[in-house]
Amino acid sequence: MLKKWLIFCVAIALSFSQISSAADPVAHWSFDEVEVENRKVEMFRGETFIPKEKFSFIKEEVSGSSVELQGKYYKIVDGVKNKAVLLDGYTAFVQVEVDEVPRTTGDFSVEAWVALGAYPKHWCPIVDHQRAVEDGYFNGFFFGLDANGRLLLKVATEGKYEQVVSKEHLPLREWKHLAGVHEDGVLKVYINGELAGTTKLTQPFKPMDEEEYFSDTLLIGKSRMKHRPYGTIRPEGTMEVNTHLDGIIDEVKLYHDALSSSDISKAYKAAKPSAKPQLPVRKLPIGPPSSGKFGVIPTTLKYYPSWDAPWHVGDNADLVVLFDQTPCRFILWRGTSYIPHWVTENGIWYNNGFNEGWNERGSCEPMSDKRTLYSRVQIVENNDARVVVMWRYGLIDNWGTFAFQDPTTGWGDWVEETFTIYPDMVGVRSDTIYSNAPRAEHEWQESMMVLSPGQRPEDILEYGALSVANIDGDEHTYSWEHAPPPLWPKDPKNISLQLVNTKSKYRPFSIVRPQDITEDKIPHGKPQSMDIYAGEIRREFSVFPWWNHWPVAPRPTDGRWCMHDDRAAHASLAHWFWGEYQMTDNSATKIHLHGMTDKSVTELIPLSKSWSYPATLSVKKGDVLSHGYDPRDMAFHLTAKKPGESMTFEINGSAKSPVVNPGMVIKGYGDREFEIKIDGKEAEYGEHYRSGHRLAFGEDDLILWLKIESEKKVTVTITAEAEDDDD
């Protein structure tokens, strides 16, 4: 009899064990299918609702009900089981309405498969069924990730939330099985079937009850509350926003039972995928391969689909300058707010910043213009001798308010930057601000690196990241390896050349004129012509300053530290401080050289001299008027009294004023064919010079680029070919 009783008890225990281990979910979102409906909008003039024509729905497997998949971009991709959904990290999420949510009242479990594309910027739910704290309630639970990619399960107790957080953070671009369990006042989280954290509640779990349940939806992939991003530096200039899941999610299940460790381990092993998640590569775009010609090409650069999707642009939204002698590029792209970038042969991005003002909310700058609403670029010249592009932008904060805005006219600060680029990757930046107070404090330049996801500043910069020199040949290299350099560099005096030591063959440089950094020209009594960006450094993350509130970040944020290399980011090294080239009552213009080189910083001194102290030009033959050298486009300017005028002129090079690859603009020359001789020898096109034409009112202008380096007098003869009598 006793034996039969024991057998019966064991059978009962086994049956309960099987029931427990085979607990069925009360909700299951598999994301295997998406039903898409396109509905024609019926809208009449005067109606102001936001129209929508595309609707997508996913199925909840237990009830069979449909739930809307919302957002600008999402995609059904291969999952761990059949299909999964890729959420864009900006707009996409699932909201389950109140009457469709299974009410959790006691022990519960939740599980999902997730592959992250980037870490959330704040708490981000996988499943959120809680009350908003701002409403004064504490009810429900939150299962999701923090800004460091750590898994957490948070539940309401009396007057507060209590949570368990995993010690490890999830890797990017890998499938992970995640689970959270509440059982008898104990919280547990699991990663890939292994216990990753546990804690005991101090008070009982307070679920949604009958009275308070009516107003609460369940969210997948979107935070219920708005926050400033974790790591915000300047909160006064940063908006609170919702946080969205950036990655792929699959097989989300909710149970009204506490799954055992064995259950969770089995669930992981049963569905463990062998294929990698279908997350597109995220690399800053440089465009298609070059055709091997010099010039600027209008195009629309693609980053990755989730980021590209919200942009309402056509085929020619961006500009890319190509060079025929190197694979380097000069890029003006929406993703960097059109801030122009030099890109090295191995894809390292560098810029010289922009003009910046301030208001009570913080920075007013193109970084704040996330959708380039106040920024545009255009081609001014595009020929074989040079490219000229213009970038116009407003100085706005993250709310679209201008710096120094006149309340009467509504005009604030606007900037027009003109970039003249020659085939040798040397250019001039002419930066003009139009302002109600052009002498007010502005920031005009910043030596800045931009990084793709997966890059850290140390990956692209040498520790000795900045070499500087003066025009006399004194030089110094500043290193960040053991400590940040001093804010005001002491060596050498009168710095006018910077070379950024990127891990590439070609490296970016910038040069200011010595006459613009005299004591009376350096603004506001600063002790040196440049400073070094020695602040906002957290050496446990990087020895360089490192932020990711820009580029490509669509949310209004005025400063956010990088904790990981999961997002596009930037790092800064220095600022130039130098005087104006030109002033008017409502404008100020500053100029500097910039470009790419494989030379050392002191080897750039002849270039600096040729621009800062240009040689004189003397017309020796021809009915031609010389206007001298204009440093704003690095060119000698002349006017031909009649089209096709033959001429000879001398450029009087010297050690102080060498001739280094000058440009020439001959107004009114027309489009006549010609030959060039340099010092009496016939010059070969491409080898010794390049030419182009600029359409003007009246006769066209001739543009030349002469490939000459000399400390002696150079004689140039331009002979027009005779016109055909039949013409």
What's the pLDDT at 10? 42
Q: Are 143 and 153 in contact (CB under 8 A)?
A: yes
Q: Are 699 and 671 in contact (CB under 8 A)?
A: no
Which of 381-385, 477-481, 693-697 shows the lowest per-residue confidence on average (mean pLDDT)? 693-697
Give the integer Cα–Cα distance in Å for 178 and 681.
Answer: 76
Q: Strand pairing of 329-332 and 318-322?
A: antiparallel
Q: Which of 715, 291, 350, 284 is nearest to 508 (CA)?
A: 350
Per residue in 665-686, pLDDT (tens digit) is: 999 999 889 999 999 999 999 9
Say whether pLDDT at 547 is over 70.
yes
Give the integer Cα–Cα distance in Å for 3 and 5.
Answer: 5
What's the pLDDT at 722? 73
Say whether pLDDT at 473 is over 90.
yes
pTM of the entire structure? 0.93
How far does the chain reach from its first CA to its final CA, in angstroms? Answer: 124
Residue 501 half-sphere exposure toward CB, CA atoms < 13 A? 15
Per residue in 244-279, pLDDT (tens digit) is: 999 999 999 999 999 999 999 999 999 999 899 999
Per residue in 133-151, pLDDT (tens digit) is: 777 788 899 999 999 999 9
Average pLDDT over residues 419-427: 98
Which of 3-17, 53-67, 83-97 shows the lowest per-residue confidence on average (mean pLDDT)? 3-17
Per residue in 138-190, pLDDT (tens digit) is: 889 999 999 999 999 999 999 899 999 999 999 999 999 999 999 999 999 99
Confidence of residue 216 (pLDDT cuts 50, 70, 90): confident
Residues 6+ apart with CB under 8 A from 121: 147, 229, 230, 231, 243, 555, 560
| Class of residue 574 by CB neighbours under 10 A (exposed 0-12, middle 13-18, buried 19+) | buried
Per residue in 313-368, pLDDT (tens digit) is: 999 999 999 999 999 999 999 999 999 999 999 999 999 999 999 988 889 999 99
Confidence of residue 724 (pLDDT cuts 50, 70, 90): low
Residue 611: alpha-carbon gap to chain centroid: 32
Q: Could you tell me which residues are beta bridge partners of residue 377?
A: 391
Q: Is 563 left (phi over 0), alpha (psi -120 to 50) or beta?
A: alpha
Average of per-residue pLDDT values in the chain: 93
Residues 6+ apart with CB under 8 A from 23: 109, 255, 257, 259, 263
- Which amino acid type is present at position 369? D
Per residue in 513-537, pLDDT (tens digit) is: 999 999 999 988 899 999 999 889 9
Buried b (16+ CB within 10 A) or exposed e, 211-238: eebeebebbbbbbbeeebbbbbbbeebb
What's the pLDDT at 266? 96
Say whether pLDDT at 212 is over 70.
no
- The token pair at 667 is 């107004």
Give the integer Cα–Cα distance in Å for 106 and 98.
Answer: 18
- The 3-class SS string of 202-252 reads CCCCCCCCCCCHHHCCEEECECCCCECCCCECCHHHCCCECCECEEEEEEE
Say whether pLDDT at 16 is over 80.
no
What's the pLDDT at 360? 86
- Domains assigned to the chain: 21-42+50-271 (2.60.120.200), 295-606 (2.70.98), 614-720 (2.60.40)
Say whether pLDDT at 582 is over 80.
yes
What's the pLDDT at 215? 56
Average pLDDT over residues 642-651: 95
What's the pLDDT at 105? 87
- The token pair at 214 is 């009516």
Q: What percent of the chain has pLDDT over 70?
A: 95
Q: Could you tell me which residues are beta bridge partners of residue 68?
A: 57
- The 3-class SS string of 63-128 reads CCCEEEEECCCEEEEECCCCEEEEEECCCCEEEECHHHCCCCCCCEEEEEEEEECCCCCCCEEEEE
What's the pLDDT at 9? 45
What's the pLDDT at 209? 67
Confidence of residue 210 (pLDDT cuts 50, 70, 90): low
Residues 6+ apart with CB under 8 A from 57: 34, 35, 36, 37, 66, 67, 68, 69
Buried b (16+ CB within 10 A) or exposed e, 33-49: eeeeeeeeeeeeeeeee
Confidence of residue 290 (pLDDT cuts 50, 70, 90): confident
Say whether pLDDT at 580 is over 70.
yes
